[in-house]
Amino acid sequence: MESITIRQIPSEIKRRLRIRAARNGRSMEMELREIIRAALLVEDDLKMNLGDKIHSRFAKLDITEIATPGRDPLRLPPVFE
């Protein structure tokens, strides 16, 4: 796994990160990993078009054929009878 160093983080941001990490029961490093992961997942999700989103939602169901419901014959309005 790779490492990254982030320098010059404002003290207020670091303080808020420490509080958020403690609230979630994680170290600051683990909290940063989660923040980065979540941000990149949202970014990937925004790039996906509607068709891809629908496909990804239903692909797990492994449906190869969908039955179409039967239809009654078209009825003409009373004016044309």
pLDDT tens-digit profile of 5-64? Answer: 999 999 999 999 999 999 999 999 999 999 999 888 876 666 778 888 788 888 888 777
72 vs 26: which has the higher pLDDT = 26
- Residue 48 inside a domain? The answer is yes
Task: Residue 26: give the domain boundaries.
Answer: 7-60
- 3-state class of 72 per DSSP? coil
What is the per-residue pLDDT for 26?
A: 96
The total number of structural domains that make up the chain: 1
- Residue 67 inside a domain? The answer is no
- What average pLDDT does the segment 75-80 reach? 77
Sign of the dihedral defined by the CA atoms of residues 36, 37, 42, 47, in that order:
positive
d(CA 18, CA 50): 37
Model pTM score: 0.52
- Residue 54 inside a domain? The answer is yes
- Residue 75 inside a domain? The answer is no
What is the per-residue pLDDT for 80?
A: 60
- Residue 27 inside a domain? The answer is yes
- Res. 81: pLDDT tops 70: no
